[in-house]
Structure 1
Amino acid sequence: MKTIKLGTSTLEVPVVAVGCMRINSLDKPQAERFVRTALEEGANFFEHADIYGGGTCEEIFADAIQMSPSVREQVILQSKCGIRQGLFDFSKEHILNAVDGILKRLRTDYLDVLLLHRPDTLVEPEEVAEAFDQLERAGKVRHFGVSNQNPMQIQLLKKFVKQPIVANQLQLSITNTTMISQGFNVNMENDAAVNRDGSILDFCRLHDITIQPWSPFQYGFFKGVFLDNELFPELNKKIDEVAAKYEVSNTTIAIAWLLRHPANMQPVIGTMNIERLKDCCKAADIRLTREEWYEIYRSAGNVLP
């Protein structure tokens, strides 16, 4: 599979990340087959969070892949922390304890990447810096990033954190395009012109932070998928038309649309269906034309000024 460098690091990662939020929906043989298929497809970047399944998803993954030192060398592991029941917590104590729990559940000595999950308004960036330094010195985390953060939140962290922020995980799909649409509608009197994220797309490109789109098939906030959905007839008609041209599935085109953006994004797919996993991976070999990208964008109801 095609790879990119994650942020400013030297870490080469596949352009499609395998999200493990739903791996607890599989029984053990199914989980083993799913993980094995991902590796066969070259999708060896596995994405976790300590809250997924209350931590059980990390345990199930470790069992499914039969984690061992030799297996660990073949995979890239990312996890997130910072969400607790009813609150967000970026305190030094919580970050350090959370990472220890993640490592124990994944049965590994280190994470390739740790992300801070949801912005904590009570964050004391000095504490985050201390936690990152301690984790790096101990060899427990090699690279650091954030999730769902805007430019100023990242800048606040960077005032104290010395490690590069290599990734920012953000919601983005063909039907959730606010970070793209506001760039088309600068200084215009319409809803699409509202800057809801501080121009995070351009900020990440300027600072070489890899955007990891989450829920790449969802519309709204977990309202459902847009593929084969009667709510989006024009979008599905266009996607199916492009899919037929490239002789791939509509799933492949939905991911290829994200990969076509020059920001060099790394979509995080959440499917536990093996065939859909394979279809997602095929997107690495598809490069949509500029015309196709814009046609799909407009077919989702996005209006160019």
Structure 2
Amino acid sequence: MAASPINQVFPKASRLVYGCMGLGGNWDNSPVTQDHLNQAHTAIDAALEIGINYFDHADIYTIGKAEQVFGQVLAQRPELREQIILQTKAAIRFGDEQWCGRYDWSADYIRQSVEDSLRRLQSETIDVMMLHRPDPLAEMDEVAAVLSELKDSGKVQHFGVSNMSGAQIAHLQSLLSFPLVANQLEMSLSKLDWLDHNIAVNDEQVKGHSFAPGTLEYCAMNKVQIQAWGSLSRGLFSGADLSNASQAQRDTAQLVRQYADQNSSSPEAVVLAWLMRHPAGIQPVIGSVNPDRIRACGDATKLQLSREQWYQLYVTSRGKALP
């Protein structure tokens, strides 16, 4: 299994990340309840049980309540803070009655977002803060200045990005005196454009792919950790209802189950191990709040798919032969 670049920054970082998007209840202004707090404790414990020490947030998750309930857990169990890596994101702004949804990399908004996240998380520092999605109006000198300010103050230890191309990362990196450590992208056995654009060079199959060429290569050359959100494909291959699924999806789910049975493992572990077999050292983010499903992911770090199994899953999920 490929080494993980994040271990150069955090030597003991887990190969899996627990994504906290499902914590805190609904995506509305209803308050956090005791049930939400209990759910957070249970999910965090299940993640810790399988060796996860890396927890991923964003200021928008359940409209701030995911960070809030996680902060309540840390307040009740302060010893956890020294045991975990805490990551969050900023830059997405929801629409309201006056304005549409938008992205905001202005210095004032980034600065305020960090302050708000620190308050909700009840933490003195954020280990990794990511810019969530690219802002076309970003003044990059201004962005670099506020990131440097936040790092110098100790409020943020490291910075990363999310949903960005290699060229976009290179532009921001050129203005910083410290490295960007991670890039979080949607990648899974059902989201294959990051692979398809690579194998379909000089072929008609490359048309229509949304993945920016050169992104994986940039991250590899510059030791930027690639994290995969959506890594479990919302359970598509590990127990979801397939009544409306395509034939390729049905065939893939069957193959995942076959490999799980052969390895006395779980479908979740197979799906994640497929991502982790790639030499980029991908760090999957899992987002379930179901403790049983979280635990089912644990074998992913021990499961090594063969080259033939990896390709069989890839081609089956594509639903067509390679070029």
Checking the alignment, whether the CA contact within 8 Å between 1:182 and 1:193 is kept in structure 2 is: no
Q: Which amino acid aligns with 1:90?
A: W
- Name the CA distance, whole Å, in 2 between partners of 1:10 and 1:140: 17
What percent identity do the matched residue pairs reach? 35
Secondary structure of 1:79 counterpart? strand
Q: Which residue of 2 aligns with 1:225?
A: 236
Checking the alignment, whether the CA contact within 8 Å between 1:151 and 1:199 is kept in structure 2 is: yes
Correspondence 1:173 to 2:188: yes
Correspondence 1:81 to 2:96: no
- Name the CA distance, whole Å, in 2 between partners of 1:44 and 1:266: 12
Q: Which residue of 1 aligns with 2:13?
A: 13
Checking the alignment, whether the CA contact within 8 Å between 1:103 and 1:110 is kept in structure 2 is: yes
- Name the CA distance, whole Å, in 2 between partners of 1:194 and 1:156: 23
Q: Which amino acid aligns with 1:6?
A: I
Q: Which residue of 2 aligns with 1:123?
A: 138
Q: Which residue of 1 aligns with 2:49?
A: 40
- Name the CA distance, whole Å, in 2 between partners of 1:123 and 1:41: 39
- Name the CA distance, whole Å, in 2 between partners of 1:276 and 1:16: 14
Q: Which amino acid aligns with 1:279?
A: A
Q: What per-residue deviation string (whole Å, max 9, x for no partner) do you get for residues 230-256 of structure 1?
A: 422210111111111111111110111
Secondary structure of 1:77 counterpart? strand
Q: What per-residue deviation string (whole Å, max 9, x for no partner) do you get for residues 175-216 of structure 1?
A: 111011111111112246847312312221122111101011
The 5-angstrom pairing of residues 240-255 of structure 1 reads 240-255=257-272
Q: Which residue of 2 aligns with 1:258?
A: 275
Correspondence 1:148 to 2:163: yes
Checking the alignment, whether the CA contact within 8 Å between 1:15 and 1:267 is kept in structure 2 is: yes
Correspondence 1:281 to 2:317: no
| Superposition deviation, residue 69 in structure 1 | 4.7
Q: Which amino acid aligns with 1:109?
A: E
| Superposition deviation, residue 217 in structure 1 | 2.3
- Name the CA distance, whole Å, in 2 between partners of 1:196 and 1:285: 29
Checking the alignment, whether the CA contact within 8 Å between 1:180 and 1:201 is kept in structure 2 is: no
- Name the CA distance, whole Å, in 2 between partners of 1:110 and 1:65: 13
Instruction: Name which of 120, 131, 142 aligns with 1:105.
Output: 120
Checking the alignment, whether the CA contact within 8 Å between 1:184 and 1:193 is kept in structure 2 is: no
Q: Which residue of 2 aligns with 1:299?
A: 316
- Name the CA distance, whole Å, in 1 between partners of 2:132 and 2:211: 19
Q: Which amino acid aligns with 1:225?
A: L
Number of aligned residue pairs: give it: 300
- Distance of aligned partners of 1:226 and 1:236 in 2 relative to their CA distance in 1, 3 Å threshold: closer
| Superposition deviation, residue 268 in structure 1 | 0.6
Q: Which residue of 1 aligns with 2:32?
A: none
Q: Which residue of 2 aligns with 1:134?
A: 149
- Name the CA distance, whole Å, in 1 between partners of 2:76 and 2:226: 28
Q: Which residue of 2 aligns with 1:24?
A: 24
Checking the alignment, whether the CA contact within 8 Å between 1:8 and 1:209 is kept in structure 2 is: no
| Superposition deviation, residue 58 in structure 1 | 0.4
| Superposition deviation, residue 8 in structure 1 | 5.0
Checking the alignment, whether the CA contact within 8 Å between 2:237 and 2:256 is kept in structure 1 is: no
Q: What per-residue deviation string (whole Å, max 9, x for no partner) do you get for residues 123-175 of structure 1?
A: 11111111111111111111110000011111111121222111000001111
Q: Which residue of 1 aligns with 2:201?
A: 186
- Name the CA distance, whole Å, in 1 between partners of 2:169 and 2:198: 20
Q: Which amino acid aligns with 1:303?
A: A
Ranges in structure 1 where 5+ consecutive residues have no aligned partner: none
Ranges in structure 2 where 5+ consecutive residues have no aligned partner: 26-34, 95-100
Q: Which residue of 2 aligns with 1:50?
A: 59
- Name the CA distance, whole Å, in 1 between partners of 2:179 and 2:118: 22
- Distance of aligned partners of 1:44 and 1:4 in 2 relative to their CA distance in 1, 3 Å threshold: same
- Distance of aligned partners of 1:303 and 1:206 in 2 relative to their CA distance in 1, 3 Å threshold: farther
| Superposition deviation, residue 17 in structure 1 | 0.2
Secondary structure of 1:46 counterpart? strand
TM-score (ref. length: structure 2): 0.87
| Superposition deviation, residue 53 in structure 1 | 1.2
Secondary structure of 2:262 counterpart? helix
Checking the alignment, whether the CA contact within 8 Å between 1:6 and 1:12 is kept in structure 2 is: no
